[in-house]
Amino acid sequence: MARVKPLAELIEGCIGPAFAAQGFASTDILAAWPEIVGERLARYCRPSKLEWPRRRRKSAEAPDSGTLVVRVEGVFAIELQHLAPVVIQRINAHYGWACVGRIVLQQDRVGGGAARKAARAVDPGRRGEVAQAVAPIADERLRDALDRLGVAAVATRQVP
C-alpha cells in the first residue's frame, strides 16, 4: 500500500526548479516569510529572487552571502528599508548561516489587488450620483477616468 505524501513534499518537486532559477535553494523562504518579517509586513512584501556573487571562493573559505531582491508595495518600502538589517539577521538565523548579505527593494504591487477591489462595495444611489455628475463631460476618456475616480471615492469597505 502506497503511503500518502504530505503536500509539502510534492510542492518542492513541482516548483523547486522555478525557484532554483531565481537563486532559491528551496521554497522554504516563501513559506517562512511571514515568520521572518512578521505578518503585517509580509502582506506588503515578498522575496522575488536571491542573487549570488559571480566569483567563486576557494572551498576552504565560507561561501559569499547573496543579495535578496524583495518586491514591496511602495508605501512600505521605507519601513522595510529601515528594517533591512533586522530582516537580514532573521533570515540568516532561520537558515543557520549568513546566506543573505543585503536586501534590494523593488517597488511593485504584491498580491491581494483583486481581493482589495472585491472588498469594496458601492451604494447604487451613490453610483448614480457619480454617473450623473460626470455625464455632461464631452471627452469620453476624461469622463471615464473621472467616473472611475468617483466610484473609488464613494466605495466603502464591506463588512465581513
* 8 found inside a domain: no
Instruction: Report, as an integer, the average pLDDT of 1-20.
Output: 55
Both 94 and 69 in one domain: the answer is yes
Domain hosting residue 133, numbered range: 115-157
Q: What angle do CA 107, 112, 117 make, to 5 degrees?
A: 110
* 1 found inside a domain: no
* 5 found inside a domain: no
Both 102 and 152 in one domain: the answer is no
Task: Provide the phi-psi class of 12: left if phi over 0, else alpha when psi is between -120 and 50, else beta.
Answer: alpha
pLDDT tens-digit map of 77-136? 999 999 999 999 999 898 888 889 999 999 988 875 544 555 567 888 888 999 999 999
Both 123 and 68 in one domain: the answer is no
Both 73 and 35 in one domain: the answer is yes
pTM: 0.54
* Backbone torsions φ then ψ of 39, nearest 5 degrees: -60, -45
